[in-house]
Amino acid sequence: MFIGEEPIHINAEKGSIAPLVLMPGDPLRAKYIAENFLENAKEVCNLRNMLGYTGTYKGVRVSVIGSGMGMPSMGIYSFELYYFYHVEKIIRIGTCGVVNPNINVPELILATKSYSETNFAYTFDNYDKNITYPSKELNEKIIETSKELGYKLHVGDITTMDVFGPYIDYDRVLNRIPKELNVLGEEMEAFGLFHIASHFQKEASCLLTAVDSKFSDVVLSGEERERSLNDMITLALNSIIK
């Protein structure tokens, strides 16, 4: 394996990224979090416009960095964060489509495992199973914090797809998922993040906001979408600093 001595996709100086990282898919959401939730936030990376910031939250250093969309992009950025910048914990904060009638838009979901048909992990290091797992300890902190904040949190399995669900007949894919799994939502990054974290023996979790549902015609207003995302951000920040 050729890794090299310096990261290729993150141009932050060594030491400028905190051990605790939140990763939204959208780099502009990283900017939003830095400006609205962190104190003394400073931009630490911007290569390829993948923005990253470091500041403090309740006195604890935290970084927030975009991951981009899909497992290849998440795999690149999480690898470099864990390997080159010695990050210890990453919480993915993203959006998902609901595939379970018990979840309403815009409720929050915490992933207990991710099922995927991808070859991402097999290509990475010959891992040939369809399920990857988050950090049990970090998940427990998120569940505990959600109760403290009074947030409703659904806890269950998700599926990570290589393609954007609304652009395909994803019922065809969902019907292939083992029936014993309690799949609540579908997204595009968590399987890859969990596998990279496990490879480096680091921690990772995935918090999601349900933004659309095959069981509902609800469409969030801009204000409703922002408020629901703010709840997810608040939950992630308060959990990761514990």
Query: Active-site residue 212, yes or no?
Result: yes
Contacts of 165 (CB under 8 A, 6+ apart): 97, 186
Which position among 128, 212, 217, 231 bears the catalytic label? 212
CA neighbor of 187 nearest in space, from 99, 64, 89: 99
Amino acid, single-letter form, for residue 228: S
> According to DSSP H, which parts of 168-221 are helical?
170-174, 190-199
Burial label, 213 (beta-carbon count in 10 A; 0-12, 13-18, 19+): buried
Q: How far is the CA of 69 from the CAs of 18, 107, 205, in angstroms?
A: 22, 21, 17
| pTM of this structure | 0.96
pLDDT in tens, the chain (242 residues): 668 789 999 999 999 999 999 999 999 999 999 999 999 999 999 999 999 999 999 999 999 999 999 999 999 999 999 999 999 999 999 999 999 999 999 999 999 999 999 999 999 999 999 999 999 999 999 999 999 999 999 999 999 999 998 898 888 999 999 999 999 999 999 999 999 999 999 999 999 999 988 888 877 676 777 777 999 999 999 999 99
Query: Which structural domains are found in the chain, ordered by start?
Result: 20-240 (3.40.50.1580)
- Is the backbone of residue 50 left (phi > 0), alpha (psi -120 to 50) or beta? beta
